[in-house]
Amino acid sequence: MNKFILIFLFITFASFGATNSLAVSKKEKIFFTEEDIQIDTTSIELRTFEKNFKSKYTDDKFIYEFKSKEKNAWDRFKEWLAGIFRNIFSLSNKETSMNFVEVLMKILAILVVIFVIYLIVKSIMNKEGQWIFGKNSDKKIIDYTEIEKNIHAVDFEKLIKNTLKSGEKRLSIRYYYLWLLKKMSAKEIIIWDIEKTNSDYLYEIKNQTQKDEFAYLSYLYNYIWYGEFDMDDATFTKAKNSFEKAIQAIK
């Protein structure tokens, strides 16, 4: 019974205290007027940006957003090639396949350079490029095709002397053959035409002795020039004498 009395008294006093607190708070409410508002009278300095101020901030450290580089046709080709190699060799990722393509391209470029150097060296070794480093480097290069088109205007005797000095035996035999055709055309034994073959000229020759001789010389020419066989001195001398004899016989 005493417990209930104490609880009742406690609740009564608590309610009374809360009521008094609300009353006090209502009495202490403060109201502000326009006069109570303080105005900021501090002066403000207007500042502007310098001209071309952006030029100071063009370094990479001021770039916060990086745009991906636009891909050209070459980049797309390498990606396509990398995809093929990635599928064929089961490469781990795209970066690995791209590195493989880059290495492959460098190797191919080196091989192309080596091949070009090889062709240049081969040309020099065959003495077809001697004009590059020789004493007569300012002379015009002789075009075989142009010589064939104008055999009547060519001094074959002079050309043969030059080729013999430089040791170009195969080329000398070619000039001997064209010289023979020039002489035969001048004597109307044949009718010269750059499109004709040895068989065409052989058919036009009426004299049997000349026909047999031309057939033999044509055989030597085809064997030496188109066969690209190396000749020893004895074989070259024999062929050279045969052509000279046939040329001198045409009067």
Each residue's pLDDT, cut to its tens digit, for the chain (251 residues) gives 555 555 555 555 555 554 554 444 455 666 667 777 777 778 787 878 777 777 777 777 766 666 666 777 877 888 888 888 777 777 677 777 888 888 888 898 999 999 999 888 877 765 544 444 443 433 344 455 567 777 888 888 899 999 989 888 889 999 999 999 999 999 999 998 888 888 899 999 999 999 999 999 999 988 888 887 777 888 889 999 999 999 999 86
Q: Which two tokens stand for residue 88?
A: 């064929």
Cα 48 to the chain's mean position, in Å?
A: 53
Whole-structure pTM value: 0.45
Give CA–CA dist 177/228, Å, rounded: 15
Beta-carbon contacts of 218 under 8 Å, excluding residues fewer than 6 positions away, are: 177, 198, 201, 202
